[in-house]
Structure 1
Amino acid sequence: MTSRRALLCGYYGCGNAGDEALLAALLQMLPVEIEPVVLSANPAQTRALGVEAHSSRSAFAILRALNAADAFIWGGGSLIQDATSWRSPLYYCSLMALAQKRGLKTIAWAQGIGPINLPLTRWVARQTFAHCTAVSVRDRVSAQLLAEWEIPAAIAPDPVWALESKSLKGLLDLPVPRVAVTLRAHPLLTPERLQTLIAALVNFQKATRTCVLAVPFQPERDRAIAEAIVSTVPNAHLVSTTDPRELKGVFRGVELAIGMRLHSLIAAAAAGCRCFALSYDPKIDRLRTELNLPGWKLDELPEDAATMATTWLDFYANGNALTPMQVQSLSDRAGIHREVLLRVFADDDFPSFSTDI
């Protein structure tokens, strides 16, 4: 079969391990005859993955890559939301629209849509999704929105459930049992709340004698908090890597994961950890609902460290992780995103998926 080029577009090259994990999962699932070309904020870093990459910040580079492509793929994640910026969804939609006008196969892949608050963003998003060759989403809220717009879509768990993991060198040298903590800077995580969280971790660690792993998923934003944990909590260690497969592997042998980052919770749950979510975003709430995870919204955190620590101690002693059968089911169903890619590239008259919610 003749090789075809697919231009992959996402929040790549920005140092966010969750988005890099989505890229790794997409490259893992892409049909072998499709040559990936990645738009990245850091093309040199992305080329280290062994793929062709061009700057996502250069109009000339983007147009040249589009002109040489046969397909265009939004590569997973919360690209279409205006809670953090109205510019970002318009940027991604404009690239998708350019690809559609050029007659490329266009795939909105593994999307977590919303929140979409502005009428303009909502209209542009609806028009763009409606003209895609195929759409897959990672949660029921996104599927419901597309159903309201009468846009067919496949629904499946986040592709990172199916991402292959590998061991991080030196991790096995750290003592057990282990607890992993993944926090990120956010306006809702005020200095006072962070201080209370760290104090609660101190209390928890002293009660359990666990080894605490502070895991920054986006070092530029997360590392300062991770270092604050390491400098204050007894037997705490900074664990950092830029390889998303290694980050997923960090959670092997971890007894409890306390996380703000969506993909830290997915990676931990996939490894059989008990997971406690700290939610700052609807995507975390969606995961909590779908997996029945305990946790708190950041703006509803207990005000005292003792209450936090007691809650974590109870969950550590009595809580349950997903069963191996549940994890396997989620991983298998995440493969639906692969099927979308296979069917698009195998059939020029690609049939629409039905929305399954």
Structure 2
Amino acid sequence: MGTRAVLCGYYGQGNGGDEALLASLLQMLPASVTPIVLSGNPAQTHDRYHVEAIDRKNPYAIQQALRSAQVFIWGGGSLLQDATSAVSPLYYAGLMALAQKLGLKTIAWAQGVGPLQRSFTQWMAHQTFAGCNAVSVRDHGSAAMLSNWGIPFTLAPDPVWALESTPVEGLWDLPAPRVAVNLRSHPQLTPARLEALTQALITFQKATQTCLLLLPFQAAQDLEIAEAIQSQLPGVSHILQLEDPQQLKGVFRGVEMAIAMRFHGLIMAAAEGCRCFALSYDPKVSNLMQALDLPGWSLAEIPDDPNAISQTWLELYANGEALSTDQIQFQVDRALIHREVLETAIGE
């Protein structure tokens, strides 16, 4: 009969990074495991990955799924954080507690823990992780938090490093060289800063004659900005809205350089051998910049002068280095440790 596992994360919500985590998790699950994915869009999840999918907001369906399963996996990413909402950690912790109560093996997989600003959320996160059969985390900050709580864990790079990428049809027909740009809405990406970045992109494009690919990872937060920038660009540009995370990663195969805010945008670009420039809106992005020694700024550090911005980009474009093949392979091999965590925990 095999093992049934309920997979829970921010899936089916139109976010390229979270979809990439789901695709990586499905790629790493032992072959004997049948996944049931809790999704915001079950039909789309079923069609894309050919797996059983149920509505993440349907309590009855979730309870049925848990009762039919032996394993519960909290899929990757920053699920337990209260920066965006106080309700979201309650949802994830509540499901984990229910799975533990029903006697399922529970795995917190490839987690980025925090930020946790409220003492109640910290307490709840501590309790929930303490009840897991296995925990893997993707960054040193999360590792430090679990160490403080005395909870055993495995630390490995984000699983998306190891996601198999697929080529994007028509990409090679677009003029080369190509540069990818990914920005998302954020309170610190003020109109003035966005304007400075846009002017810098205009100057950069004029100087390099590059084709700019604007890559929204989540339409709700990224598309409007991409359209606003594109309307002002003097040269060739394209907005690529890719739903398939493996294609999203595959775009970066045909790109010389990436300027990105999103965490998984930077990982995908670095993994495919692009030069990367990071614009950090979150500790997870800053931690990644530090770990990989990526050039970039936090949003608050963006220079006011567009020429200073474009000069920095031109310098990277002309003389910057991508990660070496060995460095990329090291990250990929280490990211596959998350697969071993699944095999060991489910096989026990």
Q: What pairs up with 1:274-293 in 2 under 5 angstroms? A: 274-293=275-294
> 1:167 corresponds to which residue?
167
Q: TM-score, normalised by structure 2?
A: 0.98
1:38-88 C-alpha deviation (Å, 9 max, x unpaired): 000111111112000111111111111111111100000000111111111
> 2:193 corresponds to which residue?
193
How far apart are 1:220 and its partner, in Å? 2.1
Q: How many residues align?
A: 346
How far apart are 1:156 and its partner, in Å? 0.4
Contact (CA 8 Å) 1:213, 1:236: kept in 2 or not?
Answer: yes
Task: For residue 179 of structure 2, give the secondary structure of its aligned residue in structure 1.
Answer: strand
> 2:267 corresponds to which residue?
266
Give identity over the alignment, percent. 61
> 1:41 corresponds to which residue?
40
1:309-328 C-alpha deviation (Å, 9 max, x unpaired): 01111111121110000000
> 2:54 corresponds to which residue?
54
Q: What pairs up with 1:290-301 in 2 under 5 angstroms? A: 290-301=291-302
* Structure 2: distance between partners of 1:207 and 1:98: 57
* Structure 2: distance between partners of 1:169 and 1:41: 27
Q: Does 1:257 align with 2:266?
A: no
* Structure 2: distance between partners of 1:219 and 1:87: 22
* Structure 2: distance between partners of 1:221 and 1:169: 25
1:292-321 C-alpha deviation (Å, 9 max, x unpaired): 111111122111111100111111112111
Task: For residue 57 of structure 2, give the secondary structure of its aligned residue in structure 1.
Answer: coil
Q: What pairs up with 1:200-215 in 2 under 5 angstroms? A: 200-215=200-215
Q: Superposition RMSD on alpha carbons, in Å?
A: 0.8
* Structure 2: distance between partners of 1:69 and 1:232: 52
Q: What pairs up with 1:1-150 in 2 under 5 angstroms? A: 2-48=1-47, 49-150=49-150
* Structure 1: distance between partners of 2:85 and 2:129: 19
1:95-135 C-alpha deviation (Å, 9 max, x unpaired): 00000011100000000111111100000000100110000
Q: Does 1:336 align with 2:337?
A: yes
Contact (CA 8 Å) 1:216, 1:239: kept in 2 or not?
Answer: yes
* Structure 2: distance between partners of 1:161 and 1:102: 33
* Structure 2: distance between partners of 1:323 and 1:31: 30
**Is there any run of 5+ residues in structure 1 with no aligned partner, and where?**
348-357
* Corresponding letter in the other structure for 1:81: Q
* Structure 2: distance between partners of 1:334 and 1:216: 25
1:231-281 C-alpha deviation (Å, 9 max, x unpaired): 211211111210000000000131110001110100000011011000111
> 2:223 corresponds to which residue?
223
* Structure 2: distance between partners of 1:141 and 1:192: 31
* Corresponding letter in the other structure for 1:322: L
* Structure 1: distance between partners of 2:152 and 2:166: 35
> 1:353 corresponds to which residue?
none
* Structure 1: distance between partners of 2:56 and 2:204: 43
Q: TM-score, normalised by structure 1?
A: 0.96
How far apart are 1:92 and its partner, in Å? 0.3
